[in-house]
A and B are shown apart, each in its own frame.
Chain A
Amino acid sequence: MTTTIDETGRGAGNITDADAEQVFQLDTVSFSYHGRHEALIDVDLTIARGEQLVILGANGSGKSTLLKMLDGLYRPTSGIIRAFGQDITDVADDPVRARELHRRVGLVFQDADVQLFSPTVYDDVAFGPLQMGWEKDRVMREVARALEQMNVTHLADRAPYELSGGEKKRVAIATVLSMEPDVILLDEPTASLDPRSSAVLVDVIAGLRHLGKTVVVTTHQLEIVPLIATRVVVFGDQERRPVASGGATEILSDAELLIRTNLVHEHLHFHADANLMHSHLHGAEHHEG
Chain B
Amino acid sequence: MARTIAGVAEAIERSVYTEEYARADGFLQRVDPRAKVVVFICAVLAVGLSRSLSVLLVLYALTVMMALVSRLPLGFFVKRVLLGVPLFAGIVFIPALFLIHGKPLIQADLGFMHLAISDNGLISLAIFVTRVSASVSLAILLVVTTQWADLLKALRVIRVPSVFIVVLGMTYRYIFLLLQTVENLFLARSSRTVGRPTDAEQRRWIGSSMGTLMSKSFRTSNDVYQAMVARGFTGDVYTISDFQMRDEDWLFVSLSVVLLALALIFDLGLR
Contacts and interface: CB of A to CB of B under 8 A. Distances in A.
B30 to A, nearest CB: 15
B169 A119 contact: yes
B152 A131 contact: no
Interface string B215-248: 0000010011011111111101011101000000
A128 B172 CA distance: 20
Contacts of A176: 231
B19 interface: yes
B114 interface: no
B240 A102 contact: no
Contacts of B238: 130-131, 133
Contacts of B98: none
B227 A103 contact: no
Nearest to A120: B149
A134 B251 CA distance: 34
Nearest to A175: B231
A114 interface: yes
Interface stretch (A153-161, A233-241, A242-250): A153-161
B81 to A, nearest CB: 25
Interface stretch (B47-55, B118-126, B128-136, B173-181): B173-181
A161 B147 CA distance: 14
Interface string A135-149: 010011000000000
Contact of B231 (A102, A140, A157): A102
Interface string B175-213: 011000000000000000000000000000000000000
Say whether chain B's binding surface is mostly helix, strand, loop, or mixed: helix
B174 A157 contact: no
Contacts of A136: 240
B234 A126 contact: no
A157 B227 contact: no
Chain A: interface size category? 35 or more
Contacts of B94: none
B170 interface: yes
B239 A128 contact: no
A216 to B, nearest CB: 14
A119 B227 contact: no
B148 interface: yes
B240 A161 contact: no
B232 A179 contact: yes
Say whether chain A's binding surface is mostly helix, strand, loop, or mixed: helix
A239 to B, nearest CB: 26
A136 B239 CA distance: 10
A73 B226 contact: yes
Given A120-B149, A139-B240, A157-B147, A131 B233 contact: yes
A140 B242 contact: yes
A132 B232 contact: yes
Given A95-B234, A103-B232, A126 B240 contact: yes
B231 A109 contact: no
Interface in A83-107: 95, 98-99, 102-103, 106-107
B117 to A, nearest CB: 48
A52 interface: no
Given A136-B240, A159-B148, A117 B229 contact: no
B19 A130 contact: no
Contacts of A162: 16
Given A132-B232, A157-B147, A159-B19, A117 B227 contact: yes
A138 to B, nearest CB: 11
A115 B225 CA distance: 9
Contacts of A106: 230-231
A95 B234 CA distance: 7
Given A117-B173, A119-B169, A127 B149 contact: no
Interface of B: 16, 19, 147-149, 152, 169-170, 172-174, 176-177, 220, 223-224, 226-234, 236, 238-240, 242
Given A99-B232, A119-B152, A123-B169, 19 more contacts: A68-B226, A73-B226, A73-B229, A99-B234, A102-B230, A107-B230, A109-B223, A109-B227, A109-B230, A113-B220, A114-B226, A117-B170, A118-B149, A118-B170, A118-B173, A119-B148, A119-B169, A132-B232, A176-B231
8 contacts: A68-B226, A109-B227, A111-B223, A114-B223, A127-B228, A139-B240, A159-B148, A160-B173
Q: Which 6 A-B pairs have the closest CB atoms?
A: A131-B232, A119-B149, A128-B231, A130-B238, A114-B223, A120-B149
